[in-house]
Amino acid sequence: METGKRYSRKRAAIMECLKSTTIHPTAEWIYEQLKPEIPDLSLGTVYRNLAAFKKDGLIRSVGVVNGQERYDGNIRPHGHFVCSKCGAVIDTAAVPMSEELIESAEGETGCEVQGIVVSYFGLCSNCLKEQEKYR
């Protein structure tokens, strides 16, 4: 793990916590997981390290879901499904980069496309099941 900063136990624990889950956690969730084992950890430390990891391309932000930024330790190409009811964020298969789509975006903007982010929004399977109970 290289973020241009020297190694620290807190920094390593934050990264390990993020990489060990697929729930796309918030900074607060990471803080709550680590606080019992690192009593002097602050929420500010978690936010600062997540920002540094993101800046260095070691993690990604999934975006803001239900008012809180969500993070992903998996930086391989893939998409996300975001449940508009419960806020679950679920990985989807890798997203192919269509040459036609890229050429269209580059032609329209005059910019160079270096990646594509795909997010789907709707109801997750749990929320759909819950909704069916009341029909």
Q: Does domain 76-135 have CATH number 3.30.1490.190?
A: yes
pLDDT of amino acid 76: 87
DSSP 61: E
pTM as predicted = 0.83
- The per-residue pLDDT string of the chain (135 residues; one tens digit each, 9 = 90 and over) reads 544 566 799 999 999 999 999 999 999 999 999 999 999 999 999 999 999 999 999 999 999 999 999 999 999 888 999 999 999 999 998 666 678 888 999 999 999 988 888 899 999 999 999 998 887
Report whether 27 contacts 47 (CB < 8 A): yes
DSSP 58: S
pLDDT of amino acid 40: 97
Spell out the CATH class of 1-73: mainly alpha
The structural domains of the chain, with segments of one domain joined by +, span 1-73, 76-135
5/45 Cα distance (integer angstroms): 13
56/69 Cα distance (integer angstroms): 17
